[in-house]
Structure 1
């Protein structure tokens, strides 16, 4: 399998090296196996002769030529972790040139992947329009507002589509690398994951911080503060809208546009976050925690935690051990 890593100035060093190291490790194990274990031909390409990473390291890259037709192109993230830095970066000439090249590769049948902020470059090219996708969770509000034609679900870690695959934040690059290796050989992927003490994660949900998402919009930030003070009391859309001096419809629409979910769903996210905090540090039993976050019994809370985080109470508490 020929994989081209499409490097751009200011790339996120950790994500880039995660990809390189995981694929190189797979090749090492493939060489040691008897028979015809798959290998990965890795090429670092770009629109410039050399790339300077976010940490200032210089990476020589091969030019993109008409003869270059890899099986997969992977776009590592840019080291631009805030909207104020990312939006101008997306307007750079090299990024614009990269989007045109990605479209050309897609038209030639090349599969395209990206993780973290790299997914923004795919979206800029229009490659994700009408597709399911994920991205770095803390920039999901910006992604959702900038690319309304993409069906974004930032709770997922990996989202395969007909174009290729998108992966989640930061260390999602490693999940992406393991996913690519597994497509070629589940045995190799298993070996690499054991050496790296890592495996493909299904969800970003346990890592999402609701407060960080709320900061993307003044109304949502006010709603978040209002909701935190009322977790025990239950949720009323009319009460929330009245307290925020807006209409229920406007609050619904704003939450959907920024967060991709209803006000009630975000209210439940805050309950889950508070319950997680109490599970980790309070010593309270589940029934007491359920009452603290506004549920009548522990069974309801247990169900919600498993639905949202993919883990039960015992697993969540074991995470701290």
Structure 2
């Protein structure tokens, strides 16, 4: 499998290096397990002659040469963790060159893969329009605002489509690399993941910090504060809207636009976050915790935790042992 990693100025060091290390290990173990040539031919390419990482290190990129397109193109994230940094970066001249090159590779049959902030560059090309995708969870409101035609689900770690695959935040670069290795050999991916002590993750939902997302919009942030004060009570959209001096319809629309979910769904997220905190930091039993977050019994809370986090109460408590 021929893989070209498109390295842009100010690339996120960890994302790039973890992908390189994963493929290097995969080639090492494939030679031991299967013999023959390495399974992955990985090259670093750039639209500039000199590229520096976010930590100021010079990355040895090759110019993009004419010839057959690679099987896969990977776009790592940039070291731009906020909208204020990312939006100007997307307008840079090298980004415009990169978008044209990504479209050219895609037209020639290459599959496109991106993780974390790298997913923004794929979205800029329009290739994700009408398709499902994930991205770095803390920039999901910005992604949703800029690319309304993309079916975003930031709770997922990996989202494959017909044009390639998108992955979630930061260490999603490793999940993406292991996913590509698994396509070549599930056994090899298992060896690499064990060697790196990397658990296979399907969700980034357990890592999402709800109030961080709420900060993207003043009304949603006020709703988040109100919701935390009323977790023990049954949710009422009318009560929430009245307390915030807005209409139920306006609150519904703002939550959908910023968070991609209804006020009730976000209220449930906050309940899950609070319950998870109590499971980790208190000796309360599940019935008492359920009462703290507004449920009549522990069974309902158990179901909600399993749905949202993919883990049961026993698993969540065991994480701290």
Are 2:228 and 1:228 equivalent residues in the alignment?
A: yes
Deviates more, 1:297-306 or 1:100-109: 100-109
CA contact (8 A) 1:178 1:199 kept: no
Aligned length: 321
**Cα root mean square deviation, aligned:** 0.9
SS at match of 1:200: coil
What is aligned with 1:215? 215
Distance, in Å, in 2 between the alignment partners of 1:309 and 1:64 is 42
What is aligned with 1:76? 76
Q: Deviations over 1:189-223 (max 9, x none)?
A: 01100100013200001000000000000000000
CA contact (8 A) 2:3 2:70 kept: yes
CA contact (8 A) 1:141 1:258 kept: yes
Write out aligned runs for 1:208-287 (5 A).
208-287=208-287
What is aligned with 2:51? 51
**Cα pair distance change 1:281/1:37, threshold 3 Å:** farther
What is aligned with 1:312? 312
C-alpha displacement of 1:319: 0.8
Distance, in Å, in 1 between the alignment partners of 2:36 and 2:134 is 34
Distance, in Å, in 2 between the alignment partners of 1:54 and 1:46 is 15
C-alpha displacement of 1:55: 0.3
Unpaired runs of 5+ in structure 1? none
Unpaired runs of 5+ in structure 2? none
What is aligned with 2:29? 29
Distance, in Å, in 1 between the alignment partners of 2:255 and 2:174 is 31
Q: Deviations over 1:265-312 (max 9, x none)?
A: 000000000000000011100000000000000000000000000000
CA contact (8 A) 1:23 1:181 kept: yes
Q: Deviations over 1:227-260 (max 9, x none)?
A: 0000001110011111111111111111000000
CA contact (8 A) 2:74 2:113 kept: yes
**Cα pair distance change 1:34/1:226, threshold 3 Å:** closer
Are 2:122 and 1:132 equivalent residues in the alignment?
A: no
Distance, in Å, in 1 between the alignment partners of 2:309 and 2:32 is 38
What is aligned with 2:162? 162
TM-score, length-normalised on structure 1?
A: 0.99
CA contact (8 A) 2:228 2:270 kept: yes
Distance, in Å, in 1 between the alignment partners of 2:131 and 2:210 is 25
Distance, in Å, in 1 between the alignment partners of 2:307 and 2:271 is 13
TM-score, length-normalised on structure 2?
A: 0.99
CA contact (8 A) 1:76 1:114 kept: yes
What is aligned with 1:300? 300
What is aligned with 1:14? 14
C-alpha displacement of 1:66: 2.3
CA contact (8 A) 1:30 1:38 kept: yes
What is aligned with 2:86? 86
C-alpha displacement of 1:163: 0.6
